[in-house]
Structure 1
Amino acid sequence: MLTTAFQRYINNFRGFSREIWILTIITFINRAGTMVLPFLSKYLREDLHFTYSQVGWVMLCFGIGSLIGSWLGGKLSDKIGFYRIMIFSLLTTGILLFLIEFVTSFYGLCFAMFGLMVIADMFRPAMFVSLGAYAKPENRTRALTLVRLAVNLGFAAGPALGGLIIMGIGYRGLFWADGATCILAILIFWMKVKEKKQSPLPHQEHMADGKPVSVFKDKPFWIFQVTCLVTGILFFQVFTAIPLYQGEHFHLTEFQTGLLLTMNGLLIFFLEMPIVSFVERKGISKVKLTYTGCFLMAVSLFLMLVTGWAGILIVMMIFMTFGEMFSFPFSNSVTLSRAPKGHVGRYMAIYTMSFSVAHMISSKVGMQIIQDFGYNANWLVMGCLGLVGTGFGIWAFRLIQNENKLL
């Protein structure tokens, strides 16, 4: 029985090209080294002694840089190709991370985080476009999920290791670890993977009067992006407000905070691919799953209103993790499938930009609410926002259903 279940689990990972596996490996190396983000708010608050408002402003600059970088990465991927963008982005990011530890002033860090994220987040849309080149059409959703598994397995190792680095040599050791893994990952990619042109998806012959449909006229896509934006806002609370709350209210150490994120990564590693394979076999609507994930994230933040029991942090993280597993791989796939031929970079840029905007809103608005009204007010506002995002997801689902009836 156990052997059969294990074999079924392993079968979910068959059929991928060599390039997809290399992309997965370098993503794991890069994400395992991404120790700065989970502890950035704590570094700014506890090591540099910034106010909550200043932490929010640095995070806002981080998000604006991410927004611009995402758009540039997608636009340039359509123009000059994903391969060059990926190499430039990670190599330069690694070098910049070595330098950022020497920046400690408020305005200096605002500028540095902005510049870093412009370069770093050019990588994300380019990487998504690369999946269109290296994955078979029938494997693309699973390939997206495989790369996400590498991201989450990396996050499972990274935060716990990051917590140990902080306890051993301090926060600045995180910048060196992150920079080194960026450079290592992209060198492996450059040596092992050759550039290849992207092949179109079956859905990408999306034409109107002989011309590709503009992303700016795709109404269901934009409504769906509101749900993606909200899921991002709720999810980024895990890296901004929640670590501070865990330390201040429940007195968790950095290592214990890292263990909660490790639980998140391990759950995703073992459960997300089987969930995706099941959805693919059953033909369940990916838009439905996305807004269901948004709803679960809202529930997880409402659970944070329970203040008298530390175990609620585990329950909250389980709800957040299932929300993440239902939302992110399928919202990726929905966005990729709607992109007309030659416009994949633009669509994926807007998709990744929604998460950049989410990071800005989640950090700045969340920190301001906490400073003015306290943590409970923040959980209540974020939970209600999740219900709004769920409503937009239902609206997008109905529009896409009506659109399909007309085809």
Structure 2
Amino acid sequence: MKTLFTKYLNTFKGLSKEVWWLALITLINRAGTMVIPFLSLYLTKDLNFTLNDVGWIMSAFGLGSVIGSWLGGKLTDKIGFYKVMVFSLLATGVLFVALQFLTTFVSFCIGILLVMLIADMFRPAMFVALSAYSKPENKTRSVTLIRLAINLGFSAGPAIGGIIITTLSYGGLFWVDGITCILAALVLINVLNPKTTKTLDDVNTSNPRSAYSDTAFLIFLGAMVLFGIVFLQYFSTMPLYYKDAHLLTELEIGMLLGMNGFLIFVFEMPLIKWLETSRFTKSGLMIFGAILTGLSFIILNLTTWVGVLVIGMLLATLGEMIAFPFSNAFAMDRAKKGNQGEYMALYSISFSIAHIFGHNAGMRMVDGLGFDNTWYLITVLAACCILLLVILQQFLKAKKRFI
């Protein structure tokens, strides 16, 4: 047991202290994002919005994310990642607290768009910071450490969120979200000031390449949009499925979602460390992750046994553990060829676009077709994602042969 634990700890060795600070900041920030998994329940239960209303609100959520990611990438290339991250965290904290006071459909649409615009300016800046503070050989594990922080926060967040809703109300979640964002900003200001930290992988390209002219990257982005639409169902339509089709309570839903984050926290780093030394390519691993995620939906239609929810979550978790770190590492590798902020902004935007269409389409499909037919259609989208990733894999192989 001691040897196993030592090997587990060794998977974290070699990462810079700045990456560890980034992980802590992300943990503090994400521990408070307990509003997001419960947002669809809050909107339908507390504000009495229809599923169509919720779909449009989620689209506003995604649109704000697209604008914020694009703006964050532009500002990162112009003024640097540090200033963008500090502003984003501080302003998001204030806006999250204010969001609870918006109770009409139009005001909540505007409010959630503004919150996500400011909040998602952080993402491209953080990715560029992560790349700068990581040695080239450690980038995938650095990404994985950040994801561990995110998922540790998510594992605690939904569980605590379920308790807060049960004992207090949904309003308390907005306060926690806002306060944790501000706390994360204060930590960032104190430990990652550019005057006291040093970068390990400065990328200075004299003639930077536009991400829009990178064919392989554009194919990759298309696949990530589809993967995002599929995966994001776990944060919009899936909680409704748990509650309406299987009659789970908010606390049980929070525990089930929390299991996802806990498993990632325990198993993802050793898994990534092992896969990094395997013969598999990043594109091949992304394909496998997408296959597992697609399977997590189709099995829900095979039985009404409540245990299938756990099996589905396990498949989705394993798919996520493989697909996300290697897709992120793939994007950072391509970003070395051009403007890093632009590349990482587009990577973030691919998931923001998924937010625009994924939540809305999912809600409308559930409302019009029911859960079973929705899961069939989501599985088809997963298959399209896999096809695009196969095309990317073949494109990269062909290009390599002609170099």
Instruction: Pick the TM interval, shorter chain.
Output: over 0.9
Letter in structure 2 aligned against 1:81: G
Closer/same/farther in 2, CA of residues 322 and 135 from structure 1, 3 Å limit? same
Equivalent position of 1:332 in the other structure: 328
SS in 1 for 2:103: coil
Note the 1:385-404 alignment, pairs <5 A.
Answer: 385-404=381-400
2:259 aligned with 1:255, yes or no?
no
1:319 and 2:315 are equivalent in the alignment: yes
Query: Per-residue displacement from partner, 1:113-161 (whole Å, max 9, x unpaired)?
Result: 0011000000011100001221222211111110000000110000000
**Deviations for 1:343-395, whole angstroms, at most 9, x for unmatched residues?**
11111100010101111211101111111111111111101110110010010
Q: 2:305 is matched with which residue?
A: 309
CA distance in 2: counterparts of 1:169 and 1:254, whole angstroms: 13
SS of aligned partner of 1:174: helix
The answer on 1:358 being equivalent to 2:330 is no
Q: Over aligned residue pairs, what C-alpha RMSD do you find?
A: 1.5
User: Are the counterparts in 1 of residues 134 and 200 from structure 2 also a CA contact under 8 Å?
Assistant: no
Distance in 2 (CA, whole Å) between partners of 1:110 and 1:281 is 46
SS in 1 for 2:228: helix
SS in 2 for 1:212: coil
**Paired-residue identity, %:** 46
Contact 2:232–2:359 at 8 Å: present in 1 too?
yes
Residue 188 of structure 2 corresponds to residue 192 of structure 1: no
Give SS of 2:387's match: helix
Query: Secondary structure at the residue paired with 1:170?
Result: coil
How much has 1:212 moved relative to structure 2?
2.9
Q: CA deviation at 1:307?
A: 4.7
Tell me, in whole angstroms, the C-alpha distance in 2 between the residues paired with 1:396 and 1:201: 28
Instruction: Tell me, in whole angstroms, the C-alpha distance in 2 between the residues paired with 1:352 and 1:133.
Output: 18
Conserved 8 A contact 1:201-1:337: no
1:154 maps to what in 2? Answer: 153
Post-superposition CA distance 1:277-320 (Å, at most 9, x none): 11222242011111211111111111121352111100100010
The code of the aligned residue for 1:50 comes to F
1:369 has 2:365 as partner: yes
Alpha-carbon distance in 2 for matches of 1:134, 1:127:
10
Paired amino acid for 1:154:
G
Asked if the contact 1:94/1:180 (under 8 Å) is kept, the reply is: yes
The 8 Å contact of residues 43 and 171 in structure 1, kept in 2 or not, is answered as yes
Aligned to 1:83: 82
Note the C-alpha offset of 1:406: 2.7
Equivalent position of 1:231 in the other structure: 227
The secondary structure found in structure 1 opposite 2:301 is coil
The residue number in structure 2 matching 1:132 is: 131
| CA contact 2:134–2:201 (8 Å) conserved in 1 | no
Which residue pairs with 1:293 in the alignment? 289
Shift of 1:226: 1.7
Measured in 2, the distance between the counterparts of 1:140 and 1:201 equals: 13
Q: CA deviation at 1:341?
A: 5.0
Could you list the per-position Cα deviations for residues 6-62 of structure 1 after superposition, in whole angstroms to 9, with x for gaps in the alignment?
111100111122211111111111111111100000000111110000000000000
- 1:233 and 1:358 in contact (8 A); partners too: yes
- Cα shift at 1:238: 0.6
Structure 1 residue runs of 5 or longer lacking an equivalent are none
User: Runs of at least 4 residues of structure 1 off by over 4 A?
Assistant: 196-202
Corresponding residue of 1:406: 402
State the one-letter code of the partner of 1:35: M
- Confirm or deny: 8 A CA contact 1:290 1:330 kept in the other structure: yes
Query: What's 2:339 paired with?
Result: 343
Q: Return the alpha-carbon distance in structure 1 between the equivalents of residues 208 and 105 of structure 2.
A: 45
Structure 1 contact 213–340 (Cα < 8 Å) conserved: no
CA deviation vs aligned residue, 1:92-132 (integer Å, no higher than 9, x gap) = 00001111111010000000000110000000111000012
The SS at the match of 2:280 is coil
Alignment match, 2:46: 47
User: Could you tell which deviates more after superposition, 8-17 or 302-311?
Assistant: 302-311
SS of 2:277 mapped into structure 1:
helix
Is the 1:78–1:342 Cα contact (8 Å) retained in structure 2? no
| Alignment check: 8 A CA contact 1:296 1:320 kept | yes
Is 2:167 the counterpart of 1:172? no
Deviations 1:223-261 (A, max 9, x none): 111221122111110110000111011110111111111
Greater Cα offset, 267-276 or 320-329: 267-276
Rounded Cα–Cα distance in structure 1 between residues aligned with 2:279 and 2:142 = 17
Quote the offset at 1:340 in angstroms.
3.3
1:263-278 matches, within 5 Å, as 263-278=259-274
Instruction: Give the equivalent residue in structure 1 for 2:239.
Output: 243
Distance across 2 between alignment mates of 1:323 and 1:201: 32
SS at match of 1:348: helix
Q: Normalising by structure 2, what TM-score?
A: 0.96
Q: Which residue of 1 aligns with 2:10?
A: 11
Provide the C-alpha distance between the structure 2 equivalents of 1:233 and 1:214, rounded to a whole number of angstroms: 26
Does the 8 Å contact 1:129/1:198 carry over to 2?
no
Give 1:389's aligned amino acid. C
Q: 1:56 to 1:107 in 2, by over 3 A?
A: same
Name the TM-score, length of structure 1 as normaliser. Answer: 0.96
Q: Hey, what's the Cα distance between the residues in 2 that align with 1:271 and 1:75?
A: 35
